Amino acid sequence: MTSESSIRHHQSFLGAAEQKLIRAIIGELPASVTPLQLTRIGLFGAVVAAAALVGCRWTPLWLPLLPIGIFLNWFGIALDGPLAAHRKVDHPRLGFVDHTYDLFSQILIIVAFGMSPFLSLESAFIVLICYLLFSAYTYIRAIVRHVQQMAYIGLGATEFRILMVAWAFIAHAAGIDETAYGGVSRLDAAIMILAVLAVCGLGIKALSDARRVAADERR
């Protein structure tokens, strides 16, 4: 096993500050709060965020609910694992539930974006494919190299959540309504280009990691 074993990389822009905040919150949580309860709060937040996005299709009055839902999603998903580790109750079942709820909550929010005025369904599925690719590679890398990389090019789950909220408000302020387009819009084209660049970047990283694995095996 390499020196990288069991190392959890927080390479995102907000990673260090986020971990400091999480530790502070965990220290103040009452004993009655359990990791599983936090996981459920995270999923509930995703449902609230998704409902807000879909509701914006008819009225922008739903928009203020989006950051509330995203915050609840972050609060639950970001704190459940660390709380379990802090209380020494971490075990495979909790980890399985945590990752499963996190995966489905992000899928729910991304698909809901495609049903909102801020992103077409086609673009939402492109974003979803990229998200699943990067998530799958994160788990593959964790198994092969015993390294759980939490971010790419400085962007982790928290930054992704912030970008989603920011884009919804920016799109609303700019009067963007993807439901009005019948074909491929300029936003769709831009997202396709970014997706191709992201996948190419992931491919390059995969090749680099493959060389490192091969080098480790020769030692």
pLDDT band at 6 (very low <50, low <70, confident <90, very high): very low
**pLDDT over 60 at 182, yes or no:** yes
Can you give the pLDDT at residue 1?
35
Q: What distances in angstroms separate CA 116 from CA 54, 67, 113, 152, 195, one per listed residue?
A: 5, 15, 5, 27, 20
| pLDDT over threshold 80, residue 152 | no
Q: Give the pLDDT confidence score for residue 151 in this predicted structure.
A: 61
Residue 198, number of CB atoms within 10 A of its CB: 19
What's residue 4's pLDDT? 37
Are β-strands 147-149 and 7-9 bridged in parallel, bridged antiparallel, or unpaired?
parallel
Q: What is the pLDDT of residues 34-47, one digit of tens each?
A: 888 999 999 999 99
pLDDT in tens, 110-144: 999 999 999 999 999 999 999 889 888 887 877 77
How far is Cα 115 from Cα 117, in angstroms, rounded to an integer? 7
Pick the range with the lowest mean pLDDT from 62-76, 146-160, 186-200: 146-160
Residues 6+ apart with CB under 8 A from 109: 46, 49, 50, 53, 70, 73, 164
Distance, first Cα to last Cα, the chain? 12
Share of the chain above pLDDT 90, in %: 42
Confidence of residue 19 (pLDDT cuts 50, 70, 90): confident
- Model confidence at 155, pLDDT cuts 50, 70, 90, reads confident
- Lowest average pLDDT, out of 61-70, 94-103, 106-115, goes to 94-103
What CATH number belongs to 7-218?
A: 1.20.120.1760
Cβ of 58: how many Cβ atoms within 10 Å?
Answer: 9
- Taking residues 13-17, what's their average pLDDT? 79
Beta-carbon neighbour count of residue 158 at 10 Å? 21
**Mean pLDDT in the chain?**
84
